[in-house]
């Protein structure tokens, strides 16, 4: 007899404090049709929560949106709305309540008790999606660390969910059975995971240092989830990365070589997608992955041009990059999916409009990328007489050294350096490619 996995029926619950986001005028400017007046932050976030729930495998059967100045300290929503949710649960309309916010342990316990349903919040939902999608050893460790960090202060408030193991959305990942997983066990596991991730990060740093030593330049793809980063990487490099119309389709970073029109070869690095109100536990857990952007020579900020919230998406990405210390790195705004808003590929200011799906505008992107690198790097050989070794130290410190040999005439350095440095020390440049060649 075949076993069928039942889809959980979820009701989405949100609080509307009245904050405005996208106005009608801004929507018209973005060439997106929006009816009615300005949408609130809660409405935009609730729509994103719906996509997150679908991605996690839930069947969204309803939404409850309450307007009030702030969340209720005990129940998040007012007692009237909680009673409405209880009636839906009693009528067997749903078996899962997903709240568009971060619930405190007290709120979580009170809502479960009042409604009789299983309750999760936005953070738990995102963590669950990450638990489903992580494939690499590092990715799984990072997800488990984020989940444990989030659950630790909520042990007393998780109610019935502690007795389940993989029983639905919000329960996947490091699995906990009843109360035997106590605080000390979780803290011990957190320490062990952090040590493992330190070892992983050490290996990642060694690979990064090797790339820098060999003069490999990197381009990082960053941006909101489902903006088309994986599709773009496939279009540019034939990487074969999973690309689906889902949030967080891919989590594990991918690196591929990319040859620019001039013949210059760079490394294209994909990173995890971002989302509004990304749990800070995930930002911390995936820090080593996101650091690829902070260490890149150029950043491509990929954005879905067809989204009504594209400006918010760009802002979220810029804030995360700022937190990572990536300010000052040349960044190109790549407005993907321009075919969905009937725009032809073009460059407008700092933005490049392309369609990764049909390949239009990729030539424009590659040409702009070529120009975005801080400086042209060249392969050069210098020969510094012994009395000029202080100059050799400067070149060695600011270049990727490929080889060095002491001869009777001085120190021969074979490096990859900036064109400006090669010009600055042109009097020491040599054309003879023999490593023991004279300083002439």
The band of 23, judged by pLDDT with boundaries at 50, 70 and 90, is very low
Inter-residue contact 167 to 193 (CB < 8 Å)? no
Architecture of domain 9-163: 3-Layer(aba) Sandwich (3.40)
Q: What is the pLDDT of residues 96-121, one digit of tens each?
A: 999 998 898 899 999 999 999 999 99
Please tell me if the domain spanning 216-372 has the same topology as the one spanning 377-428. Answer: no
Model pLDDT, residue 37: 43
DSSP secondary structure letter of residue 35: -
Alpha-helical (H) ranges within 214-324 are: 229-237, 280-285, 287-294, 310-323
With 0-12 CB in 10 A as exposed, 13-18 as middle and 19+ as buried, what is 176? Answer: buried
Give the tokens for residue 332.
């190109």
3-class SS at 411?
Answer: strand
Q: Which fold has domain 216-372?
A: Rossmann fold (3.40.50)
Instruction: Please indicate whether residue 98 or residue 149 has the higher confidence score (pLDDT).
Output: 98
Q: How far apart are CA 111 and CA 118, in angstroms?
A: 9
pLDDT category, 251, cuts 50, 70, 90? low
Going from N- to C-terminal start, the domains of the chain cover 9-163, 216-372, 377-428
Query: In this model, does residue 201 exceed pLDDT 90?
Result: no
CATH class of 377-428: alpha beta
| Angle, CA of 89, 152 and 177, to the nearest 5° | 60
> Residue-wise over 224-245: b if at least 16 C-beta within 10 A, else e?
bbbbbbbbbbbbbbebebebee
pTM for this model (two decimals) = 0.66
What integer is the mean pLDDT of 370-393?
Answer: 85
């Amino acid at each position: 007899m075949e076993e069928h996995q039942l889809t959980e029926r979820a009701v989405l619950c949100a609080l509307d404090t009245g904050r405005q986001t996208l106005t009608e005028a801004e929507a018209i400017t973005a060439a997106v049709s929006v009816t009615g007046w300005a949408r609130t932050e809660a409405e935009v976030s609730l729509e994103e929560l719906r996509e997150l729930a679908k991605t996690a495998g839930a069947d969204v059967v309803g939404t409850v949106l309450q307007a009030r100045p702030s969340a209720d300290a005990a129940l998040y929503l007012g007692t009237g709305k909680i009673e409405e949710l209880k009636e839906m649960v009693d009528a067997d309309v749903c078996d899962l309540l997903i709240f568009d916010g971060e619930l405190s342990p007290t709120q979580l316990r009170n809502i479960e008790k009042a409604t009789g349903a299983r309750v999760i919040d936005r953070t738990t939902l995102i963590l669950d999606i990450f638990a489903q999608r992580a494939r690499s050893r590092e990715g799984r460790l990072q997800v488990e660390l984020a989940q444990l960090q989030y659950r630790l202060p909520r042990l007393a408030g998780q109610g019935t969910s502690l007795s389940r193991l993989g029983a639905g959305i919000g329960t996947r990942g490091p699995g906990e059975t009843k109360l035997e997983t106590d605080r000390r066990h979780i803290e011990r596991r957190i320490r062990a995971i952090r040590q493992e991730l330190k070892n992983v990060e050490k290996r990642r740093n060694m690979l990064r240092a090797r790339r820098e030593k060999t003069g490999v330049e990197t381009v990082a793809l960053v941006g909101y989830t489902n903006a088309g980063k994986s599709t773009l990487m496939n279009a540019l490099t034939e990487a074969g990365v999973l690309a689906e119309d889902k949030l967080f389709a891919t989590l594990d970073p991918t690196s591929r070589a990319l040859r620019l029109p001039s013949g210059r070869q760079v490394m294209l690095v994909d990173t995890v997608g971002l989302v509004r109100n990304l749990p800070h536990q995930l930002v911390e857990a995936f820090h080593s992955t996101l650091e690829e952007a902070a260490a890149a020579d150029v950043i491509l900020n990929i954005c879905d041009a067809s989204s009504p919230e594209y400006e918010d998406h760009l802002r979220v990405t810029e804030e995360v990059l700022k937190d990572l210390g990536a300010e000052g790195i040349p960044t190109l705004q790549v407005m993907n999916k321009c075919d969905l808003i009937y725009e032809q590929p073009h460059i407008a200011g700092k933005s490049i409009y392309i369609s990764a799906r049909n390949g239009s505008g990729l030539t424009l992107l590659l040409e702009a990328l070529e120009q975005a690198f801080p400086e042209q790097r060249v392969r050069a050989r210098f020969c510094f007489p012994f009395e000029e070794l202080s100059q050799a130290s400067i070149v060695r410190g600011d270049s990727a050294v490929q080889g060095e040999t002491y001869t009777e005439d001085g120190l021969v350095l074979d490096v990859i350096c900036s064109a400006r440095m090669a010009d600055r020390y042109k009097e020491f440049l040599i054309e003879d490619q023999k490593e023991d060649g004279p300083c002439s």
